[in-house]
Structure 1
């Protein structure tokens, strides 16, 4: 598990990270003055929000469940449909999102930030070579720099590094079941997911088991390609025990139920109660400790 998730496109500096942490919590760039990145990704709920679907500006309901922002920068793309290439693009486009920040334009956002004197100073320090440092691109890059530090190693990493007693016997049994059943064919890599798009409901229609209120066609709604129907990004499993409810629509509250549903609709497997419990216990071991920096709120600049 890497300590940070660096980018080949963007540089990470302490000045950008500090500014990005503040902007992550900044509400004044939303149309209603109450919406920030932290509204849908509070760390009190491990970077998710414990809702089926998030509430954006003026309480508008987002179309999908908010995944955790922890470790998100290490994934292949962002959003359930994989339609944001990285955390920087996600931060920028969320500003204009009708059910997120709802800003009328990027220029409006830049004007709002420029009206707060302290931000002018902080943007200049973070983007020293820019003639006009306060821009939405730099806003997004700074938030991305902060989010690229949100790594949460767990006992599972200690186990992978050779400390065999880092996991209990039950958790080890759960890991074995997890691998033997074929879960790792999709939940792979350092984050146990986030590396590919996959059809939700390979064996059976997912909604028959999730009891979803609405059938979401996933990536098909982006590409209009028939082969992309019900395709979603495979979610990472890091901190999954802390980020209920589950799936793209938050339709399942119980992690044990989510485990059984995934086995059924993806693999055609009916897990026994013992197998389900063992996998459940293994997934608990993927919960990492949040650093002091993650849980400490920044003091934001005052409006003059």
Structure 2
């Protein structure tokens, strides 16, 4: 497992260079619209109090701005809610990488106690009892509502939640004047300090697992450990996976505070400080830190033609 590789060349060999987001895929419109409707439907939760959109607010960067969202029982979830935007480009889903597909993610979220807390038999019955859904699924899938088609519709909608046309994407596409001089310097510092070793590829992250606290014990310094802090260890039981998490995408990072699996960094400035201390073991100059933050703000894209 890669721990820290501040070499730009090796980072690119592992995950590929930074590339622009692809265009929003042209998927079956009937299935997309079914997925959109389901994404906003609280009947997927046990007590019909929560929809996917309750925590993944598309008007708030695809997250909800909370340290930890509240589950169906009104209690905080174990981890911070990541953005749903561009999630289809991640190599795994969830902070601990326990799901490999969006369909599997939906399957786990709906039935997990404390999250949506339901079960698929109940959900299928509720959705199938709605005449408009029955007609929609018959048209889109040529069959009745079932667990598979529900998950497929949700995943199909989520695959349209891409946010292209960030200023940085346009820069990568050849519009070299769209970034200011300081933003370009920030991109250079992002590479030189080694941030790009883990935050690379089309999603500028989201394509590897990494230990949180490579060059310092973040959890001892933060205090109050929780089971969720064990990260991927909770999935595999492998000691090497203790405190290992999926590297988050940096796309739209300026509008998705707070940061990290525990939501412990309230601002982008605080998150950058943590990364330098615990992942890079370096102290940037004040100017370099400011430049990197300016660069990160160029990663905010658009959804349905509007800036996030």
Fold-level similarity (TM above 0.5): yes
In 2, Cα distance between the equivalents of 1:5 and 1:287? 19
Shift of 1:208: 4.9
Q: Secondary structure at the match of 2:245?
A: strand
Which of residues 31, 35, 57 is equivalent to 1:20? 35
Shift of 1:59: 1.1
Residues 51 and 205 of structure 1, relative CA distance in 2, 3 Å threshold: same
TM-score by length of 1: 0.90
In 2, Cα distance between the equivalents of 1:4 and 1:79? 22
The match for 1:134 is 145
The match for 2:178 is 166
In 2, Cα distance between the equivalents of 1:13 and 1:48? 26
Which of residues 111, 132, 138 is equivalent to 1:118? 132
Shift of 1:276: 1.0
Gaps of 5+ in 1: 7-11, 296-304
Which of residues 9, 30, 40 is equivalent to 2:45? 30
The match for 2:121 is 107
TM-score by length of 2: 0.89
Shift of 1:293: 9.3
The answer on 1:237 being equivalent to 2:250 is yes
Gaps of 5+ in 2: 1-20
After TM superposition, where is structure 1 displaced by more than 3 Å over at least 4 residues in a row? 292-295
Shift of 1:290: 2.1
The match for 1:3 is 23
Which of residues 155, 180, 194 is equivalent to 2:206? 194
The match for 1:42 is 57
> 8 Å contact 2:301–2:307 — kept in the other structure?
no
The answer on 1:146 being equivalent to 2:157 is yes
Which of residues 75, 79, 88 is equivalent to 1:60? 75
Q: Secondary structure at the match of 1:58?
A: coil
Q: Secondary structure at the match of 2:44?
A: coil
The match for 1:301 is none
Shift of 1:271: 1.3
> 8 Å contact 1:202–1:266 — kept in the other structure?
yes
In 1, Cα distance between the equivalents of 2:50 and 2:193? 41
